[in-house]
Amino acid sequence: MDVSHFKNHFSHKLSNYKLTYSSYPDGDFGYLERVVIEGPDKVAGIDFWSRGWLDIDIYDLVLDQQVMNVLIEPAETQKKEEELIKFMRILLDCG
């Protein structure tokens, strides 16, 4: 899973958010592609690493607390998809 998967399957659902994409060649787990998501009540980030790691976090500005923070290992393919779905539900307030 990489940033293109996110762009093709998830980003279009975040029309109420500002998405910023950036890349870093020498991250902790290889090449890093980062998505920063900013909305009126939540800010979030997703880090896609070339070695297969995935880092997801969401901060709720209204609650003033982090509501999601997960680092997923390369072999946990199913968990990556599950956590991205959870991520989207939180951002879209779907439970």
pLDDT digits (tens, 9 = 90+) for 14-35: 999 999 999 999 877 889 999 9
pLDDT digits (tens, 9 = 90+) for 62-91: 999 999 999 999 999 999 999 999 999 999
pLDDT score recorded for residue 94: 66
Whether the pTM exceeds 0.75: the reply is yes
**Is residue 9 packed enough to be buried (19+ CB in 10 Å), middle (13-18) or exposed (0-12)?**
middle
pLDDT higher than threshold 60 for residue 95? no
CA-to-CA separations, 92 to 10, 25, 45, in angstroms, rounded: 11, 31, 15
Position 52 confidence tier, pLDDT thresholds 50, 70, 90: very high
